[in-house]
Chain A
Amino acid sequence: MTDRFTSRGFFGRRRDAGSERADRIPPGQYLTDGFPVLSAGPTPQVPLDRWEFTIDGLVSEPVRWSWEQFQALPSRDWTVDISCVTKWTKLDTVWHGVSVDDLLAAVEVDPKARFVTAHSFGGYTTNLPLTDLVNNQAFVAYLYDGAPLESAHGGPARLVVPHLYFWKSAKWVRGMHLIENDQPGFWESLGYHNRGDPWREERYSGD
């Protein structure tokens, strides 16, 4: 039995989901009403006339969209639950954006491409298996709750991959490199899990 010190009367900021929503909260997570802002660096300020989104790497021909071109792509609303590795989960978040499937439809993906590095204005990177980005599992969002996505939350546009921990949902995303071999990104290269499935609590490498 560990004789660990505990602070009398301390429970932390966590809340119970209530039984009707408990099954929507991954293990080890707690529910939040707010939308915490987490960052590895200063908030990039990207003017829309400088914004672009690129898909390159293992594709026949890279493709690049300007903001106007991106806005003209087929888009839809998404209502999803999101979980951050720092343990908060937010249910029923509402976004609007373009499915990654529709973005990939603009390129011819080389069969050797199995992984993606998503990269952002400001230098952030994160890696994902291609299989986690297709089939309606991921999108690039530019509206949150009906309004333009704030820069603190990743605007003008961010990647959203709701079924993985939210560090994979790269803020200020500017493109995807399609690659053959997995390349650990900013946090994955320093102790975080390569894939990050909240339902398996894949927080850290070795989990």
Chain B
Amino acid sequence: MDDSLMLDANAVAGDLAEMFGYDVTASMHCCSHCGNRGAMATLLAYIHGPGIVLRCSICHEVVVRWVRTPTRTYLDARGAAYMEVATR
């Protein structure tokens, strides 16, 4: 996919951290559409819109949607079947 507007999710690591409380880019995720497992940073980020959309680099389906309004921040991570981070 050569869409020049696309970035890697590590470009939005700081914004995602507002919801998760820490930098999730090195955390693993499992795409709920195709099952691909990878670091959150490998998701393809579309940031030039009303919100941020992170898509699976394999199947291109939506994994995460994120919106910030003046009063609230929303996160829809249904496209990630699960996330995991090493605690030790």
Chain A directly contacts chain B within the complex, with at least one CB pair under 8 Å: yes
Interface residue ranges, A against B (CB under 8 Å): 36-43, 85-86, 123, 167, 186-187, 189-192, 203-204, 206
Pairs A-B, 9 closest by C-beta atoms: A204-B69, A38-B49, A191-B67, A191-B74, A40-B53, A42-B3, A190-B74, A190-B67, A38-B48
Chain B residue with the shortest CB-CB distance to A207: B69
17 residue pairs A–B, Cβ–Cβ below 8 Å = A36-B48, A38-B50, A39-B5, A39-B48, A40-B46, A40-B62, A41-B62, A43-B3, A85-B50, A186-B65, A187-B50, A189-B76, A190-B74, A191-B67, A192-B51, A192-B67, A204-B69
B87–chain A nearest beta-carbon distance, Å: 29
CA distance A148 to B87 in the complex (A): 54
In whole Å, how far is B73's beta carbon from the nearest beta carbon of chain A? 8
Residues of B within 8 A of A43 (CB): 3
Interface residue SS majority, chain B: loop
Q: Does more than half of chain A's interface fall in helix, strand or loop, or is it mixed?
A: loop
Task: Give 19 A-B pairs besides A39-B5, A40-B51, A192-B50 with Cβ atoms closer than 8 angstroms.
Answer: A36-B48, A38-B48, A40-B46, A40-B49, A41-B55, A41-B60, A41-B62, A123-B62, A167-B50, A187-B67, A190-B51, A190-B67, A190-B74, A191-B74, A192-B51, A192-B67, A204-B70, A204-B72, A206-B71
> Which B residues are within 8 Å of any A CB, using their own CB?
1, 3, 5-6, 46, 48-51, 53, 55, 60, 62, 65, 67, 69-72, 74, 76
**Which residues of the partner chain A approach B46 to less than 8 Å between Cβ atoms?**
39-41
Give every chain A residue within 8 A of B5 (Cβ-Cβ).
37, 39
Contacts of A190 in B (CB 8 A): 51, 65, 67, 74, 76
